[in-house]
Every structure is written in C-alpha cells, then in structure tokens.
Amino acid sequence: MRTPFVAANWKMHKTVQEAIDYARNFVPLVASVSDVDIVLAPPFLALPALVEATEGSRVGVAAQNVSAEPNGAFTGEVSVGMLGAAGVTQVIIGHSERRQLYGETDAGVNAKTRAAIDAGLTPIVCVGETLDEREADRTFDVLDRQVGEGLAGLTPEQVAALVVAYEPVWAIGTGRVATPDQADTVHRHIREQLTSQFGDAAASGCRVIYGGSVKPANAMELMALADVDGALVGGASLDPASFAAIVTASRPSTT
C-alpha cells in the first residue's frame, strides 16, 4: 500500500509572513492525519521560515525548483545543498510552467533529479501533455518520452522512492480537470512505463500523483482511483482550509 502524497504548490504567491501565518492555521487542521504525506512548496524566500513554522509536525517543505549545479556563477539559481541546509526535504522538478515559460528540457529534468537524489532530497518529477498534444492523440508518446528521458539512468530503488506528478497542461489553472476515466487511464499507463523501464518493484513503490485544478469538490473522486496516489495542488492550496480538505479526502480510509 502506497502512502498518499499531497503537495501544495504555491507558485509565486505568499510573502514570508503570509507563509508563517498559513502554517499556523494549516498545521492544526491536519494534526490528526498520520496516513498521508503532506508537503508545502512556497517560494524560495519563505523556505527557511516555513521549515521553522512546521517543525515538529508531519508537514514537509519542498522547493519549487532547483539547479543541477552544485555551485558557481549561476545568477539567480539555488543549489540542492542550499535547500538541504535550509531543511527542505523535497523539490518539484520539471513543472509544466518551468518547461513552457523557461525552456526546461527532459535532459535538464534528468540532471536536476539526479542532483536532488544525490543530495538526499525527494524529487517530485512533473510530466504532462499540452492540449494540442492530447488532441493529436500524442499523450502516451509525450509521457513515455518525459518519463523515459527524465528518469534515465536512475536505479529501480531510486525510482521507487521518488514521486511522479502527472499534470495535464490543459488542466492547470483552467478549471478543467481530467475525468476520472482519463486520469485512471493515464496513471495506469505511467505505471506501465515505469514497470517496463525499471521493473515491478520500482513501479509499485513509486507514487504517481495527479495535478490539474484539484479542489476539495473533486479530490475524493480522483484519489479513489487505484493508480492515483495523491495530488499536486495549485490554486486550491493557497487557502489552508481548502488544502486541508484535499488532504483529508486523500486519506486511505476515505477512498
């Protein structure tokens, strides 16, 4: 049984103080939840403060991006060592906004994923197709490439320990959500790809989560699917009560 994994991606929202205030409200709401791994991913500036604000709770803290380079003349970048020193435990890699707006490639995702694993961080590796790719019936081809190249060279043990987030680009911030049948089909395909590339044990251990306009109203139906192991939540995670409701909907006892 894979433990559900639910992460809040705040994107470019919340000041340091707003992040602290959020944690003060959110942590008590999920204090009794012991069967879901919960992660908050704030902007870089709020990471140390949020690590401190969630100390002693089961809420982890993730970064939204990282450099594959350990150090050097890379203005504006943040290394895995810096994240580890700040108390961060996970990092989102290859989010569609990074791919679309900043030109991230599958090779870059692979380099960042390897660097994160080597530093002891858990990668949350994002994959997903655009609307044009879906309408051209290329969804599986895109996902096979992103999974294949993004995780290339990893060991089965490393793959079993990381998180893959399927985020159909056409459903991010649009209010559109993959239907349960669509999500189920794609998640099953991703797990089959993991099996083909890394074996049964790796595919069974790796958590594949869904991201794309997840809200309290649709979370329980999505989380009930056998191959959906949690959610990467954007806009609905900005309110602590809303995100707590999604966490509760993800509990194994409610599915």
Residues 132/139, Cβ–Cβ less than 8 Å:
no
- Residue 167 CA to residue 187 CA, distance in Å, equals 10
Catalytic residue among 95, 104, 129, 187: 95
- Residue 140 CA to residue 148 CA, distance in Å, equals 12
Catalytic annotation present for 129? no
Q: Side-chain half-sphere of 118: how many Cα atoms within 13 Å?
A: 15
Tell me, letter by letter, the H, E, C secondary structure of 47-86: HHHHHHHCCCCCEEEEECCCCCCCCCCCCCCCCHHHHHHC
- Residue 79 CA to residue 190 CA, distance in Å, equals 29
The structure tokens listed for 35 are 């069967």
Catalytic annotation present for 95? yes
- Residue 114 CA to residue 151 CA, distance in Å, equals 8
Catalytic residue among 97, 104, 133, 167: 167
Stretch (H or E) spanning 138 = none
Residues noted as catalytic: 95, 167
